[in-house]
Amino acid sequence: MHLSPPLRHWHPVRGGRRVIFELTHTPSELTVLLGAWLTASPLLFDHNVATVPYAGWSDVIAGLALVALAYLRAVHPAGTGPVSVVTALVGAWVMASPFVRGYADSTTALWNDLLTGFAVIVLSALSMRSPRGGGSRSTD
């Protein structure tokens, strides 16, 4: 069980064409980085204006969930299409949390969550569209 770095090397394919096999890992690996960023963001951005206590913990828990889900997707990509759907739902929660948890008045925390959540949703969609995301492995 290993997590190969993206774009490590080229793999030849039938017909003389070349593709980047590791490119299917890239959305998941970027989601791991976004999860780590989201986990650290309450230390950098003000969540104290929230109407509910411990509002920053929403970002910490969502970030840790993103790291775990994306790592699972990167290590075992076959059959993890539902994991990408759950990852997209976590991204949607990240976008909604400033309004639900009451810290939409903090401009930096609001934009951080909106942009990070949007990026997670886009990367989840890319991850679902990858050839290895649907659960069947290609022999080409």
Report if residue 135 sits inside a domain: no
Q: What are the CB-based long-range contacts (under 8 Å, 24+) for 20-26?
A: 23/130, 24/77, 24/130, 24/131, 24/132, 24/133, 25/74, 25/77
Report if residue 65 sits inside a domain: yes
The whole-number pLDDT of residue 10 equals: 45
Report if residue 13 sits inside a domain: no
pTM equals 0.75
Report if residue 66 sits inside a domain: yes
The whole-number pLDDT of residue 74 equals: 81
The helix (run of H) or strand (run of E) holding residue 94 is helix 81-101
Return mean pLDDT, the chain. Answer: 78
Q: Which pair of structure tokens corresponds to residue 61?
A: 């828990």
Report if residue 125 sits inside a domain: yes
Report if residue 138 sits inside a domain: no
Report if residue 52 sits inside a domain: yes
Reference 31, options 82, 81, 80, 66; nearest CA is 66
Q: Give the whole-number percent of the chain exceeding pLDDT 70.
A: 74
Q: What is the pLDDT of residues 31-78, one digit of tens each?
A: 999 999 999 998 888 777 777 788 889 999 999 999 999 888 888 777
Residue 118 · residue 30 · CB < 8 Å: no
For residue 67, give its domain range. 26-129
The whole-number pLDDT of residue 96 equals: 95
Report if residue 117 sits inside a domain: yes
Q: How many structural domains compose the chain?
A: 1
